[in-house]
Amino acid sequence: MRSNGKIDAYLDCNSPYSYFACVWLRRNKQLLADHGVEVNFHPIFLGGINVGSGNKPPWTLPAKAEYGKYDRPRAEKYFQTMEMEAPPFFPIMSLLPMRCMLYIKDNYPKARYEDQFEELWISYWKDQMDISKPDVMSGCLSRHFGQNDVEKILAGGTSTQYKKLLTSETARLVEEKGAFGAPWFIVRNKEGKEEPFFGSDRFAYMLQYLGVDFQDITILPKDKSRL
């Protein structure tokens, strides 16, 4: 099938909205593929993006942090995902899990990589696991990998190669693609043109840009029989 575009999604497990984006894209991945649109997930270090762009994360601003108490449950309901709760150690230094994901991406099938990526949010936000710690990250990985693979992945996640790769990927996203947060998307349409998109509430804009037919939010007429 001729390619009609590509969505590159850049995510970090510290971002609950990255989770919503991951879930939505995975649920709709086959439909997008039927339209000739490829979807790829990329681990990035959100802390590095904030520093590099000069952005301040929502949890450091009292008004945004307060608003998040309302907005995240609304998103959970809309996207029909698990309920999430920020653990007492939030935010974590997400370097280790993101480096591990880069290693998995390079060395394992795409489906296993995506399953493990989604698992990060489940372990962290639902099961309250501090996956920045190697022994805890080991438990998270063991949900999808055997012990030998877990050891290889953790070794890869602490290697110089993947430390440098995460740093360079994050820097490139800021310097070349203008990123200032997560989830961040680079979307290429069928004409080969690229544009950035930010946030888990921009899928309608992305589908418009890709030329993919979709049904937008529609207000239904009032059912007068229920009055």
Q: pLDDT per residue over 24-53, tens digit each?
A: 999 999 999 999 999 999 999 999 999 999
Q: What structural domains does the chain harbor?
A: 6-13+31-214 (3.40.30.10)
- Using one digit for the tens of pLDDT, what is the confidence trace for 58-85? 888 889 889 989 999 999 999 999 999 9
Distance CA 53, CA 194 (A): 20
Is the entire prediction scored with pTM above 0.75? yes
Q: What is the pLDDT of residues 110-141, one digit of tens each?
A: 999 999 999 999 999 999 999 999 999 999 99
The answer to whether the beta carbons of residues 79 and 23 sit under 8 Å apart is yes
Burial class (CB in 10 A: 0-12, 13-18, 19+), 1: exposed
Residue 146 has φ and ψ, to the nearest 5°, of -75, 170
